[in-house]
Amino acid sequence: MRHFPSERAPWLTLLIWGLLPGGCLAMLIVQLQAPIPWWTWFLTAELPMVMVTALAVWIWLTTGYTVTETELIVRSAFLTWRTPLSAITRVRPTRNPLASAALSLNRLEIRTRKGAGPLISPQRRDEFLQLLRERCPHARIEG
């Protein structure tokens, strides 16, 4: 079993570790400048921003890919997708911006017998592809 964390794009790093916590701080400063009842401010501004930030950090810390002897497991926050290695027919590089369990646009598209599979962005991409070549000899693997 081998685990590969997701590659992380610099722009996403800035968003998660800079702008979102900065937004929470900015809302606190605004509240101190022009006070409204604390519960109104907390429920309409600070709580939603803290929840979005917490979800983004959770996704950041947990997104990754595990290749076992029989399957590819994709995890991101509370979501998990399992793809049998025997079902993989093709792996190819893509920069498809669709929502996926990938923290970078430097992605791999996994195709299965059923059609579209997950879009992923593993660190150590060459090592990941080599492992898939070994475990999925039937699949066409590009990149």
- Domain ranges for the chain: 8-61, 64-141
Q: Give tens-digit pLDDT for 12-41.
A: 888 888 887 888 888 888 888 877 888 887
pLDDT at 84 (0 to 100) = 96
CATH number for the region 64-141 comes to 2.30.29
pLDDT at 21 (0 to 100) = 82
| Entry field: residues in the chain | 143
Three-class DSSP labels, 88-139: EEEEEEECCCCCCCCECCCEEEEEECCEEEEEECECCHHHHHHHHHHHCCCC
Which residue do the tokens 């709580």 mark? 47
pLDDT at 101 (0 to 100) = 94
* Average pLDDT score over residue span 41-60: 87
Q: Write out the E strands in 21-95.
A: 64-67, 71-76, 79-84, 88-94
pTM of this prediction?
0.86
* Average pLDDT score over residue span 62-69: 97
Q: Give yes or no for a contact between 12 and 121, defined as CB atoms under 8 angstroms apart.
A: no
Q: Give tens-digit pLDDT for 93-134.
A: 999 988 899 999 999 999 999 988 899 999 999 999 999 999
pLDDT > 80? residue 65? yes
- Summary mean pLDDT of the chain: 91
pLDDT > 80? residue 11? yes
Give dist(CA 108, CA 120) in Å, integer: 5
pLDDT at 133 (0 to 100) = 96
Q: Give tens-digit pLDDT for 67-97.
A: 999 999 999 999 999 999 999 999 999 999 8
Distance of CA 39 to the CA centre of its chain: 33
Give dist(CA 140, CA 118) in Å, integer: 16
